[in-house]
Copies of this chain bind each other. A is one copy, B any other.
Amino acid sequence: MTLRVTVWNEFRHEKTHEAVREVYPNGLHEPIANHLREQGMEVRIATLDEPEHGLTDAVLAQTDVLTWWGHMAHGDVKDEIVERVQKRVLAGMGLIVLHSGHFSKIFKRLMGTSCDLKWREANEKERIWVVEPGHPIAEGLGEYFEIPHEEMYGERFDIPAPDTLVLVSWFQGGEIFRSGCCYHRGNGKVFYFRPGHETHPTYYQPEVLHVIANGVRWAAPVPGPQVVFGHHPQPLEAIPV
């Protein structure tokens, strides 16, 4: 069954910052979408400045996994759309949160914490280590991979402890970071993946794209039980008087 992925990008930096446009002339969603298409997935793009941010009920209903990149305009995402996305995740849709998406409304809402962290732009090297090698998101990876120049994100990362921690980053400047974090939320799954600063060509790097594709496959909906919440006046077993 073909996975249907919606790649969501804030898509503002690319229009306003020359340095970003040089790296991602058509938006940083482009290399991500291209790679997922090459993997046989059906990919749609959605961006902040479209009506309903491109995330209408119809679009979400046809989305198995949503990837999310945002940074400078988290506050412009309408609360009702955030609510809508959260509901879809709880109903089973996968969500891949990328890099600065850690501060998006949707990630903060699904985590329940500030999702704050330390950061620095110093073009430093990042080395991402696999700490759970049997996890599907580690498929096809080596023991680590390096990104030659990235923004630093450092601990303490204010998230709930992941259900599964798959990747941990080492930074040249002295920090570490939980960079690949898996969560179940409702019937859905969430994967946070750290790399992807807008001025670096990170989303052209094969290992990074590979992890995103693995994350999408892992987060794909499982047709499990349809839970019926609420009042169940009838016991399943007779209750002795």
Q: Is A41 positioned at the interface, with any CB of B under 8 Å from its CB?
A: no
Give the docked Cα–Cα distance between A224 and B160 (Å): 17
Cβ proximity bits A105-136 to B, threshold 8 Å, 1 near / 0 not: 00001111110111110111101011111111
**Contacts A116-B230, A222-B134, A225-B138 given; does A237 touch B110 at CB 8 Å:** no
B114 and A112 contacting across the interface, CB-CB below 8 Å: no
Give the docked Cα–Cα distance between A46 and B142 (Å): 34
Q: Is A174 positioned at the interface, with any CB of B under 8 Å from its CB?
A: yes
Query: Which chain B residue shows the least CB distance to A114?
Result: B90
Q: Which segment, of A3-11, A13-21, A186-194, faces chain B?
A: A186-194
Q: With a CB–CB cut-off of 8 A, which chain B residues contact A176?
A: 129, 168-170, 176
**Contacts A120-B232, A222-B134, A230-B118 given; does A184 touch B168 at CB 8 Å:** no
Tell me whether chain A's interface is mostly helix, strand or loop, or mixed: loop
User: A135 CB to closest chain B CB, in angstroms?
Assistant: 7
Q: How large is the interface on A (under 10, 10 to 19, 20 to 34, 35 or more residues)?
A: 35 or more
| B111, B131, B178: the one within 8 Å of A157 (CB) | B131
Q: With a CB–CB cut-off of 8 A, which chain B residues contact A154?
A: 129, 232
Q: With a CB–CB cut-off of 8 A, which chain B residues contact A189?
A: 134
Interface contacts beyond A134-B224, A139-B222, A170-B171: sample of 11 additional A-B pairs, CB < 8 Å, sorted by A: A112-B112, A116-B229, A116-B230, A120-B231, A129-B156, A129-B175, A135-B222, A136-B222, A138-B224, A138-B225, A174-B236
A residues apposed to B, CB below 8 Å: 86, 90, 92, 109-114, 116-120, 122-125, 127, 129-136, 138-143, 152, 154-158, 160-161, 163-165, 168-176, 178, 183-189, 221-240
